Amino acid sequence: MQIGFIGLGNMGGPMAINLAKAGHSVKAFDLSQEAIAKVVAAGGQAAGSAQDAAQGAEVIVTMLPASQHVEGLFLGRDGQNGLLASIAKGALVIDSSTIAAATSQKVAQAAQAAGIAFIDAPVSGGTGGAIAGTLTFMVGGSEADLERARPLLEKMGKNIFHAGAVGAGQTAKICNNMLLGILMAGTSEAIALGVANGLDPKVLSEIMRRSSGGNWALEVYNPYPGVQEASAATRGYTGGFGTDLMLKDLGLAQEHATAVKASTPLGGLARALYAAHSLGGHGGEDFSSIIKMLQKQG
Ligand code: NAD
């Protein structure tokens, strides 16, 4: 199958590579030439532009940072000259970026008017899951479009959920990431407290992992450097899930809450914490660096 893949960052790069390794023809585009080169080295083809990647593709996958990138790409910055005009009628768009549900719905509507199928399929599982092909997909769209996408999603992930109509995948993802933001801040707070009281972070982490405080951060994403070899913390908080991306997701969660008058006090507090952390100059670091806010300095 011919696939156009746009957005080859920490997540999109390994996802595109898994599709190429599965034998698909993947034409890959990113604003970064270095990101394209990594996919080409793993069997993909370089595209000179997003239009070039989409040309003749049966499926277009996008993995971009935020709503404005997805809307700008497909609809054009001025509402014209977007990528939809370059996509063949009957093709399927799979957008795996985490963005506002309303943006997914807006792009899906324009796609439908152009005879193009669209699903939102945001993911969970981190860069480790993207590399291993074990992501969880949360899909919004019709059953039929999900079944078309399924063989490709199975090459990139191991859990595929149908959350509902277009936009529902995004809503599920935002609920999940609000919880993750809270859990990472809480886990960091607990480890920092233990260490300040003389505990070894490895020992404390293992005790909590196997006790009632156990959670995903303690399992695979420990925020304390050196506790887990493969964690972003041990790599100097690089190459994972950026603080500013978490801040974006917590903002989206608050927008969802405002829309239905939901009470999300911990989500709101988590957003404020990550915003202060970003302002402190840590926006580009992995989100687990939130522990720096809670550690005794010096
Ligand atoms: P990233 O910043 O590493 O990658 C984004 C890529 O998009 C960059 O390489 C950038 O050059 C490219 N890009 C931006 N605008 C473009 C355009 N117009 N055309 C082509 N390329 C463009 O981000 P990431 O960590 O890969 O995250 C991507 C999305 O996945 C985000 O919505 C994020 O919230 C979500 N997500 C990330 C993780 C994670 O652990 N990193 C996990 C789940 C979901």
The tens digit of pLDDT for each residue in 247-282 reads 999 999 999 999 999 999 999 999 999 999 999 999
The tens digit of pLDDT for each residue in 45-74 reads 999 999 999 999 999 999 999 999 999 999
- The reported pTM is 0.95
Residues of the chain predicted below pLDDT 50? none
* Spatial distance between the Cα atoms of 215 and 200, rounded to a whole number of angstroms: 19
Q: Give the pLDDT confidence score for residue 77 in this predicted structure.
A: 79
Locate CATH 1.10.1040.10 in the chain.
Answer: 171-294
Q: Tell me, what's the ipTM?
A: 0.99
Q: Give the pLDDT confidence score for residue 273 in this predicted structure.
A: 98
- Alpha carbon of 54 to ligand 1 centroid (Å): 18
Cβ contact 3:26 at 8 Å: yes
Locate CATH 3.40.50.720 in the chain.
Answer: 2-165
Q: Give the pLDDT confidence score for residue 296 in this predicted structure.
A: 80
Q: Considering the domain 171-294, what is its CATH architecture?
A: Orthogonal Bundle (1.10)
- Alpha carbon of 210 to ligand 1 centroid (Å): 33
Annotated catalytic residues are: 173
Cβ contact 10:64 at 8 Å: no
DSSP code of residue 294? H
Q: What is the CATH number of domain 2-165?
A: 3.40.50.720
Q: Given the DSSP bridges, would you call strands 92-95 and 157-164 parallel, antiparallel or unpaired?
A: unpaired
Which residues approach ligand 1 with their CB closer than 6 A?
6-12, 29-32, 35, 50, 63-65, 69, 73, 97-98, 123-124, 126-127, 240-241, 245
Ligand 1 pocket test, candidate residues 5, 27, 34, 64, most atoms within 8 A of CB: 64
Neighbours of 216 (CB within 10 A): 16
